[in-house]
Amino acid sequence: MHTGSCLCGAVQYEIRGPIGPGFYCHCARCRKASGSAFASNAVVAAEHFVLTAGEDALKTFVADTGLHRSFCGNCGSPIISRREGIQQVRVRLGTLDTPLGAGQGPQAHIYVDSKADWWEIHDELLRYPEAPPRPR
């Protein structure tokens, strides 16, 4: 099990199952939402993500694409994103309080074709120009 929280500690959560694939997303929307060159995310089954405190502090912005981005309304920390009808969430890895363990971090860069022009990728992780191919 993993735990996580926002910067001010109002929002707290547990991940009561495996953490799926992690990735760095370089799309313009993730850059805006994170205020950085990319967002560090991991896929988690929705039933394994459990909010343990701060439901009243959690706010959600729904983008015109239908993506729900949830964040702490007190400190602004992004926590998860999700889409209607998909039984998974994308957890912002920077909000984890427990270590992932060696080799468990992001395994790929996605939306590399739209990455910030001032950021260079200097690792050997997989790179996808847009979204990675969906498993069959």
Domain 2-127: CATH architecture, name and number where available: Beta Complex (2.170)
Boundaries of every domain in the chain: 2-127
- Give the model confidence (pLDDT) of 26-39 as tens digits: 999 999 999 999 99
40-97 tens-digit pLDDT:
999 999 999 999 999 999 999 999 989 999 999 999 999 999 999 999 999 999 999 9
Q: 91: number of CA atoms within 13 Å, CB side? A: 34
Say if CB 98 and CB 2 are below 8 A apart: yes
Predicted TM-score (pTM) of this structure = 0.91
What are 97's strand-pairing partners? Answer: none
Over the chain, what is the mean pLDDT? Answer: 94
> How far is residue 77 CA from its own chain's centroid?
11
pLDDT of residue 135: 65
3-state DSSP assignment of residue 76: coil
